[in-house]
Amino acid sequence: MEGRRVEMSQIRKGPWKAEEDEMLINHVNKHGPRDWSSIRSKGLLQRTGKSCRLRWVNKLRSNLKNGCKFTAEEERVVIELQAEFGNKWAKIATYLPGRTDNDVKNFWSSRQKRLARILQNSGTPSSSSKLLKTKKEIPGFHDVPVMEAPKLSSSMEELSHSKAQSCSSSHLDNTQTITKVEQFPELVNPQLNTDANIAQLELMSRGKNPYAETQSQVFFPWIPHLTLSLESQELLAKLEDHYFSQVFAPMDFPELDSGNVEQPFLEPVRSSGFGAKEEGDNPTIPDTFFHDFPADIFDQMEPLPSPLV
């Protein structure tokens, strides 16, 4: 018993040091990614075999996309595969080269928390003001009811492009992603990503039929064949009408009911593409509307013809 206590106390836990990483890499180079328990029995590291394996799988092995946010495409893959397989993170991760089961799990967990918070806020009338105060909760949502014409910032698109490039260029196995995703052609439809869906469904829910494409085209006319994801539909089903009546009460768009389709408060993105815009080019788009979208959300979108005026 005493001996066991001493043994247990010798096991290191917590963050890994560079020397430990180096030792672990050496072991794998010699023996391959196996015999994890022998690492400790040989006295190489005071870590459990499980801990060594986890460190290798999640951080040290090659071709990992450490530090890169999930792209819109990756998000779609996760959402679709989670719906199909459930919480089989390891299985889902096999469809995402460079991502580990832990990455996928963490991504999903964060997303669930975000959705839960939105739902919670939507369910309590008194929380509407709180909702509107929090920028991160619904991307761009807080800007929508504001009828003024805010200035267009170019900083975000610069950031988006630099981030997208730094991630995509450093990982050559993106082709593998495409190969796998081709098995799921529905995954690469020009849908909006998760957060965008949340924002869109909340806007669209003013209408009688939130899934109607005509509605989506009213609010997001620059997005072709806009469809709601499973998640959005589920979320929308749970949202309560009073919330929206509160939030949008000051606004009224009779043209929506009459079928007279006009742009209520947003103008479409120019066909030249998001990154091609210049400052002041389209002053009616709120400058924070896209701030929470993944950097390459627009990569999947076909350029649209210039809007009819």
Please select the residue that binds DNA; options are 23, 25, 105, 233, rule is CB under 7 A: 105
163 lines the binding site for DNA (CB under 7 A): no
Hunting for tokens 């939507």 — which residue is that? 122
Find out whether 143 and 285 touch, Cβ atoms under 8 Å. Answer: no
Element (H, E) at 33: none
Closest CB to DNA among 39 and 204?
A: 39
Looking at the Cβ atoms of 84 and 281, the one nearer to DNA is 84
Nearer to DNA, 198 or 218 (CB): 198
Selected from 22, 61, 83, 109, the binder of DNA by CB under 7 A is: 109
Nearest C-alpha neighbor of 184 from the set 112, 84, 105: 84
Q: Of the candidates 23, 117, 244, 304, which one interacts with DNA according to CB under 7 A?
A: 117
Work out which of 76, 80, 95, 107 binds DNA, going by CB under 7 A: 107
Q: Does 88 bind DNA (CB under 7 A)?
A: yes
Given candidates 37, 63, 179, 306, which one binds DNA under the rule CB under 7 A? Answer: 37
Within its chain, how far is the Cα of 261 from the centroid?
Answer: 31
Q: Whose structure tokens read 């807080």?
A: 142
Q: Which residues 6+ apart lie within 8 Å of 158 measured at CB?
A: none
The answer to whether the beta carbons of residues 204 and 216 sit under 8 Å apart is yes
Contact (Cβ atoms closer than 8 angstroms) between residue 306 and residue 270: yes
Q: Which of 26, 124, 129, 134 binds DNA (CB under 7 A)?
A: 134
Choose between 142 and 206: whose C-beta lies nearer to DNA. 142
- Of the pair 170, 189, the CB lying nearest DNA is at 170
Judged by CB, which is closer to DNA: 158, or 278?
Answer: 158
- Which window, 43-51, 215-223, 242-250, 279-287, contacts DNA (CB under 7 A)? 43-51
Give, as ranges, the residues between 263 and 282 that touch DNA (CB under 7 A): none
> Could you say whether residue 113 binds DNA (CB under 7 A)?
yes
Q: Helix 230-238 and helix 101-123: axis angle, to 10°? A: 30
Q: Report the alpha-carbon distance of residue 211 to residue 280 in Å, rounded.
A: 33
Kindly state whether residue 90 participates in binding DNA, applying the rule CB under 7 A: yes
**How many Å from the N-terminal Cα to the C-terminal Cα in the chain?**
82
- Site residues for DNA, window 289-308 (CB under 7 A)? none
Q: Is 128 in the site for DNA (CB under 7 A)?
A: no
Tell me if 53 sits within 8 A of 47, measured CB to CB.
no
- Take residue 1 and report the two structure tokens written for it: 């018993």
Q: In whole angstroms, how large is the CA radius of gyration of the chain?
A: 24
Is residue 35 at the binding interface for DNA, with CB under 7 A as the rule? Answer: yes
145 DSSP 8-state letter = T
Quick check: 171 binds DNA (CB under 7 A)? Answer: no
The correct pick among 46, 58, 154, 246 for binding DNA (CB under 7 A) is 58
Q: Does 101 bind DNA (CB under 7 A)?
A: yes
In sign, the C-alpha dihedral spanning 27, 28, 31, 33 is positive
Is 14 a binding residue for DNA by CB under 7 A? The answer is: yes
CA–CA distance, 59 with 282 (Å, rounded to integer): 43
Where in 178-197 is the site for DNA (CB under 7 A)? none
Residues of this chain that interact with DNA (CB under 7 A) are 12-16, 33-38, 41, 47-51, 53-55, 58-59, 66-67, 69, 87-91, 101-103, 105-107, 109-111, 113-114, 117, 133-137
